[in-house]
Amino acid sequence: MAEEKVLTDKQIRTARYAKAMGHPVRMYVLDLLSNQSCCYSGDLSDELPIAKSTLSQHLKELKDAGLIQGEIEAPRVKYCINKENWQEAQHLFREFLKI
């Protein structure tokens, strides 16, 4: 028998994205990356008043949530939006918020 699912996959995935968006620094990064194609983490590090290790942690969370992706361009790292998942997030939030 299939289990009674109370929480839908949609709710779980939307919550996952929302959680990743749930910090001002990560909102800043997503705002930037959704408005321009890419950025280097050095650019972020210069702007944001946090330790580079902390920034790296936030970027990792965004990567783990699937919202961004990093590409090594030695010795730097170029970050971009993960378009596929960003689109999914747009769909999920549009449905959820009915906008």
Q: Which residues bind a copy of itself (CB under 8 A)?
A: 6-7, 11-12, 14-16, 18-28, 30-31, 34, 47-49, 89-90, 93-94, 96-99
Give me the residues paired with residue 72 across strands: 77
- Closest CB to DNA among residues 23, 83: 23
> Could you please report the per-residue DSSP string of 35-94?
HSSEEEHHHHHHHSSS-HHHHHHHHHHHHHTTSEEEEEETTEEEEEE-HHHHHHHHHHHH
Stretch 20-59 residues interacting with DNA (CB under 7 A): 22-23, 25, 40-42, 45, 49-59
Interacting residues toward DNA by CB under 7 A: 19, 22-23, 25, 40-42, 45, 49-61, 70, 74-77
